[in-house]
Chain A
Amino acid sequence: MTEPSLDLLHTPLYDLHRELGGKMVPFAGYAMPVQYAPGVKKEHLHTREQAGLFDVSHMGQLLLRGDGAAAALEALVPVDIIDLPPGKQRYALFTNDAGGLLDDLMVTNFGDCLYLVVNAACKEQDIAHLEASLPGDVRLERLDDRALVALQGPAAAAVMARLAPATAEMVFMDSRRMAIAGQDCFISRSGYTGEDGFEISIPAAGAEAFVRQLLSEEEVALIGLGARDSLRLEAGLCLYGHDIDTTTTPVEASLLWAISKARRADGERPGGFPGADIILEQIATKAVARKRVGLVGEGRAPVREGTELFDAQGNAIGRVTSGTFGPSAELSVALAYVSSEHAALETTVFAEVRGKRLPMKVARTPFVPQRYHRG
């Protein structure tokens, strides 16, 4: 077995992963656990049935401070940040001048600051992007001394309520700053699995003790990146660098829901973000050449990233960007870009796998029901 090379970064939970049998692989410059002894499928199912605990400390955690912070961030995302209420979290997208996506992120308003969580592979670039445009009175702080863990699944709320009773009051996309076991934690009721759950930012020094305490709860098991990927895919959630990137606009990526009303052509603060002219034009005309869709295979064969898609006449019409056999959906599921005339629900397309054309149908996402706690 090859050990990950020494120049990989470690999260504050690295030693614990090793101790608990995590199979460590390089991911976005970090040594991360892809799975533990039970394996991807059991870890996936455990999360849907009980509660899975994920180390996502490789992701970038940032604070924006200063009176102009919300306005400054708004200038980079097609999302309403100025009216994001204190204690609330929102999904956002960094766009470029061509309307493409530089990253997707979560933004929380903690009243005196904005808290951002960005993708690990994009964080240095995101920081440079922010710093290049922030006015002098807005300060960017890197929270490199914090771990980030996610507790996801139907038992997550009961487990968290034992450790931090105040979390029981929170609903989906609520965020709170609170002391848990004496540690200054940022906690949000959200995640990346389609399940109810929480993401908890905790000072690195207290992370291992906190995770051990969570693991002592009988419903909780550690889950690796492998199951994190199959869980998010079943939930129909995009993975940056795969399902979205600098060449995909939010409209092509079927992320229209993430573009706030206030920032649209008829909103209170229309445009004013990179690529606004292109994105607002695409919203107005609905004229995009391709769209991101969900696909479900008629057979069980997994249809993986990069697989080419064809219509019944054999014309190339698109490509799969993520795909696997969904352990909970019990179906071959994929996200793909197809030319817009093939994007309607129930359209049959053909995936070329090992020389065979396998029929798949355009399907609604998520592929499994969302179980967020909306109160």
Chain B
Amino acid sequence: MSHTPSELKYASSHEWARLEEDGSVTVGITDHAQEALGDVVFVELPGVGDTLAAGDEAGVVESVKAASDIYAPIGGEVIEVNSALEDEPETVNADPYNDGWFYKLKPADAGELDKLLSAEDYQQHCEDED
């Protein structure tokens, strides 16, 4: 059973978003997503300074098996990326909600977070998909 922390918000495309104390939003992929992908061997991150709208392609995660696009759960400007994933992409499997984060956004409208799924709704969404 995959882990779905209750303090995070979720996109149906399997990204999580966390509102930080400084107002930025950290984004990664969920435990459910990393499990489904299998061993991650490569992560392509957005560029710092890129402006994304909710639902925009924000990068790619590749496992031994296949490539999957990752999408921006909310809109904003990319202010930091987790470059450690370039050399250690397996961190996404080992620790998807902490060291395996992908990038941080300065949200265009923090209200967009309210449109995302709660942990409970996301779990239901995953069960419906299976």
Contact = CB atoms under 8 A, between A and B. Distances in A.
Interface of A: 1, 35, 39-42, 44, 226, 230, 300-302, 304, 324-325, 327, 332, 354
Interface string B39-61: 10110100000000000000010
A39 B93 CA distance: 12
Residue from A226, A302, A304 having most chain B Cβ neighbours under 10 A:
A302
Contact of A324 (B60, B64, B86, B130): B64
A327 B64 contact: yes
Contact of A325 (B60, B64, B86, B130): B64
A39 B67 contact: no
Interface of B: 38-39, 41-42, 44, 60, 62-65, 67, 86, 89, 130
A226 B37 CA distance: 13
Given A300-B42, A354-B44, A40 B65 contact: yes
A325 B44 contact: no
B67 A304 contact: yes
Given A1-B130, A40-B38, A300-B89, A226 B44 contact: no
A40 B90 CA distance: 13
A41 B67 contact: no
A41 B39 CA distance: 6
Contacts of A301: 42, 44, 62
A299 to B, nearest CB: 8
A121 to B, nearest CB: 20
7 contacts: A39-B39, A41-B38, A300-B41, A301-B62, A302-B67, A324-B41, A354-B44
Nearest to A297: B42
Contacts of A354: 44, 60
Nearest to A23: B38
Contact of B86 (A230, A300, A302): A300
Given A226-B64, A324-B64, A40 B39 contact: yes
B23 to A, nearest CB: 31
A178 to B, nearest CB: 36
Given A301-B62, A325-B41, 11 more contacts: A35-B38, A39-B38, A40-B38, A41-B38, A42-B39, A300-B89, A301-B42, A302-B42, A304-B67, A324-B64, A327-B64
Nearest to B66: A304
A325 to B, nearest CB: 4
Contacts of A230: 64
A35 B38 CA distance: 10
Nearest to B69: A354
A239 to B, nearest CB: 15
Contacts of B44: 301, 354
Contacts of A41: 38-39, 41, 64
A41 B64 CA distance: 7
Nearest to A1: B130
A304 B67 CA distance: 9
B31 to A, nearest CB: 15
A244 B30 CA distance: 39
4 tightest A-B CB contacts, nearest first: A41-B39, A325-B41, A40-B64, A300-B42
Given A300-B86, A301-B42, A325 B65 contact: no
A16 B44 CA distance: 38
A325 B38 contact: no
A1 B129 CA distance: 9
Contacts of B60: 354
A301 to B, nearest CB: 5
A39 B63 CA distance: 11
A331 to B, nearest CB: 11
Nearest to A301: B42
A40 B67 CA distance: 15
A300 to B, nearest CB: 5
Contacts of B63: 40
A325 B67 contact: no
A358 to B, nearest CB: 11
A325 B60 CA distance: 15
